[in-house]
Each structure stands twice: as structure tokens, then as C-alpha cells.
Amino acid sequence: MRGTRKDWWLKILGLLLVFAVIASACGDDDEGSDPEPGDDASDSSGDDSSGDDSSDDGDDGGEDADPLAGCGEGAVTDLSPDRDVARCEPGYPAPQPLEERASVRLATNFWGFEFTAPYVLALELGEFEKENLDVEVVTGVSLADGIVQMEDCTVDITVGGTEASLHNGISAGLTVKQVIGNYFPPDAGDTSIDQTGLWARADAFTNPDDPDLTELEGTTLGTAVALGSVINYPIGLAFQEAGVSLLDLDLEVIPSADLPLALENGAVQSAWVLDPIWSQLADNPDFVLVATQPPGEALGGLYASSCFREDRREVAVAFIRALIRTMNTYLAEGYKTNNVEELQVLADVADIPLEAFTGTPETLMDWEMGEGTSERAQGFFMEYGVLEYDEIIPEDQVYDRSIYLEAVRGPEG
């Protein structure tokens, strides 16, 4: 393996075991990180002293100011893969505090990852507090378990990927739906730029400068997750375009941190390598990036049942409004240069060096859910035999875009 592993580097690799996102539908989702070992992370007061409090900028016109004035046409896009990511001005949508204090329980197997930055910063920088919300974070909960707890109304919202378990639950009659997206890499779709994606040994190809994925048929692919994870959608898509099925390869489940070594010693010929682990392979001619995450597609986000989406609609909108405001204020383009203090808050929560975040490319935080992602992912899940039904579920039964639309457009959406 190129380079030397520092002690903190091992901690980073352990923290970043999944996309994101992502809890495996088959139970391979136990790699999450607790804010404090053995304890739940919770907030009952909010701390506005953290950060620059710039989220108040959206309410500089007094009580009658329009809380959505900073959310123009760009707050909602056409959902196509080549769209610009949706954005409002910093500080928007402005807080609209609930008349009565409300509590929200968020369940996650991941806390302190960069893709959870909106949730972490909204909590730590007081954005939930500005909506008159108490937010309790319950860690160590997989998406599959969170779905059940949301249906029981013991948890309000859950972090995860657009997994097979989600679709199986919906098919079985559960009311859970995805309510907001998470992120996608800014250079997704461009294999000339090193990033998260499908990396392979150069010697696996006759011409590594123009790799032919059909030459990987029958070889071993390293993966940190089982076939029910949404990460196998972009992997499957890459092979499908070459006329190969992911099932034509031998899959070997290997921890993310060990995938570069497995590639180096030839134990696998290809592997999906996450951020920032791929940096160990970059600039090494022995390895090539052959596929990336599809452009413009957030592959995970937040999920809620009717207990939250419908029965506590006003609270759900306030919660999502705080997240969107956090993205616009602290996580817009240039955040790794302009918002280092806020990233330090994230690094402190994750208990890893700030360089773990500033040393890798920015991600595009995305509250929207791209058109067709769920249906395309289901197509691959069906191919892999991990779904418990035979017809693709339409995305309007998987996505509920109305909550984020209300947050940036008002009750009329």
C-alpha cells in the first residue's frame, strides 16, 4: 500500500465504511460511529454560540420579513442528472419557530461522517433550536431497524440509503418514504478525476488507458456491503453499460479500509473505494478509476413514516427547514475554504482531525431527490434477487418531496 498509515488515519477509515449513506439491507451496517461510546447524542437547548450565527441573516427585515425571500427559482430544480444543485441564499429558509416546543428523535447508524454534516451542524450550531425543536440523536440504529421503529412511531426520522430493505418495507405496506436527499460528488460521472468509485488493477485490462469492463467478467470484486445496498446500483450500472452483470463477477465482502490492500496484493481485481480511501490509489499507475457514482443522484437521505410526515407535519417541515438552511449557510460551494470553523465542529463530534474533511474534495449537499433513482435502483435489486416483489414500485410511493418543497416554497409548495 502506498504511503504510511498514521494512527488517526486508521480511525478515519473505520468511520467512513459506507457511503454513505448507507446501511446494508442484509445487516452489514454495524460500522456506525457513536458521538460518545455507549451514549446517545442528544440536544435539548441548542448552542448558538458555535459558528458565525450567519443563519440569522435571512431575517433582517423585522417580524414581517419574508422567511422565503432568499429562496428563489434555484431552490427547486428539474431533477435531471445535469442540473445545478438546489440552493437558497445563506440563512434561508429563515427560521419559523413552532409555537409550542416539539421533540424529534433521529435514528442513525452514522454520526460524524461528512454526509451527515447537515444534521450534525444543525444540532451543534443551534439551527434546530431556532425552530423551537429539541432533537435527540439515537445512534447504532440501522435503516432496516429504523423503518420498524418509525412505523411504531418510536422514532421520527432515520438516516440511510435507498436500499432494498426500504423498498421491501414499502411493498409490505409500511408508510415509510424518503423525504430529503443527501449528497453526490461534484465530479460524478468523470473518471478522469480521482474520486469515490470503482477502482481496478491496471493489469486487469489489455489497455488500461481505455479499460474494457468486459475483461473483469469472472474476476473478483471487493465490496464492503451486500447486494441489497444501494451502492450496488452504480456498480451494476457501470457493468450493465459494458454488457456485463454484477452477478458475472465473484463478490467478496471486505472492510472498506482493507480494499486498497486487497487490490494491491491481487486478492481482488476491482473494488468500490470510498472517500477518502481512494486517495491511497490515486496517482499510482497500477490502478485505474473505471466508474463513478452517477451524476446528479443522491443515493440516500432521510426517511420518515406517516407518523412524522402526516401526523406531525408542521414539525417535519420545521426539521427539514433547519437542515436546508444549514446546507445553504454552512455547506454551500466553497465550504471547505469558507467554513473551516464549522468543519472543526464536525471534526470534534467525529473525534478525528480537521484534515480528514478539508483534505478531500467537497461534496454537493443536495436536499432534492433525483428523478428515477429509486426505480433504476430497484431494477438492479431485482436482478440481484434481493427484492420480495416482482414489479417496480413507482417513485411517488417511495419519495415524498412535499415536505422540502413546503420548506423552500411555503404551504403551496
pLDDT (average), residues 130-135:
98
Name which residue leads in pLDDT, 347 or 356: 347
Q: What does 323-363 look like in DSSP terms, one character per residue? A: HHHHHHHHSSTTHHHH-HHHHHHHHHHHTS-THHHHTS---
Sheet with 197-201, side-by-side order of all strands: 250-253, 220-223, 270-273, 197-201, 287-292
| Alpha-helical regions (H) of 207-252 | 232-241
pLDDT (average), residues 72-96:
94
Kindly state the helix (H) or strand (E) to which residue 364 belongs, with its residue range.
strand 364-365
- Whether pLDDT at 218 is above 50: yes
Report helix, strand or coil for 1: coil
* Residue 110: per-residue pLDDT: 81
pLDDT (average), residues 369-393:
96
* Residue 4: per-residue pLDDT: 39
pLDDT (average), residues 270-287:
90
CA-based torsion, 61, 66, 67, 70: positive or negative: negative
Spatial separation of the C-alpha atoms in residues 172 and 158, rounded to whole Å: 19
pLDDT (average), residues 313-327:
98
pLDDT (average), residues 167-175:
97
Domains and CATH numbers, the chain: 18-186+298-409 (3.40.190.10), 197-292 (3.40.190.10)
* pLDDT level of residue 21 (50, 70, 90 thresholds): very low
Name which residue leads in pLDDT, 2 or 237: 237
Contact between 186 and 361 under an 8 Å Cβ cutoff? The reply is yes
What would the grid cell of residue 356 be? 480528514
- Whether pLDDT at 14 is above 70: no
| Alpha-helical regions (H) of 172-312 | 232-241, 259-264, 306-309
Sheet with 300-304, side-by-side order of all strands: 41-42, 133-139, 102-108, 157-161, 300-304, 177-181
* Residue 323: per-residue pLDDT: 98
Name which residue leads in pLDDT, 31 or 158: 158
What would the grid cell of residue 384 be? 440481484
Of 354, 19, 381, 358, the C-alpha closest to 184 is 19
* Residue 258: per-residue pLDDT: 94
Contact between 339 and 207 under an 8 Å Cβ cutoff? The reply is no
- Whether pLDDT at 18 is above 60: no
Residue with cell 421520527: 156
Of 67, 77, 46, 49, the C-alpha closest to 325 is 67
Exposed, middle or buried by CB within 10 Å (0-12, 13-18, 19+), for 346? Answer: buried
User: Per-residue pLDDT tens for 187-205?
Assistant: 888 999 988 899 999 999 9
Listed range (60-69, 93-102, 333-342, 365-374) with the worst mean pLDDT = 60-69
* Residue 255: per-residue pLDDT: 87
Of 64, 59, 158, the C-alpha closest to 116 is 158
* Residue 64: per-residue pLDDT: 56
Each residue of 350-361: b (16+ CB within 10 Å) or e? bebbbebbeebe
Name which residue leads in pLDDT, 336 or 31: 336
Listed range (49-53, 113-117, 127-131, 315-319) with the worst mean pLDDT = 49-53
- Whether pLDDT at 186 is above 90: no
- Whether pLDDT at 6 is above 50: no
Each residue of 126-138: b (16+ CB within 10 Å) or e? bbbbbbbbbbbbb
Bond prior to 276 in cis (omega within 30° of 0): yes
The pTM of this model reads: 0.81
Position 347: which residue type? A
Contact between 188 and 285 under an 8 Å Cβ cutoff? The reply is no
Spatial separation of the C-alpha atoms in residues 286 and 302, rounded to whole Å: 38
Q: Region of 38 please: left (phi>0), alpha (psi -120 to 50) or beta.
A: left
* Residue 111: per-residue pLDDT: 83
Residue 394: CB atoms within 10 Å: 11
Contact between 101 and 132 under an 8 Å Cβ cutoff? The reply is yes
CA–CA distances in Å: residue 65 to residues 59, 224, 229, 317: 6, 49, 44, 19
CA 185 to chain centre: 10
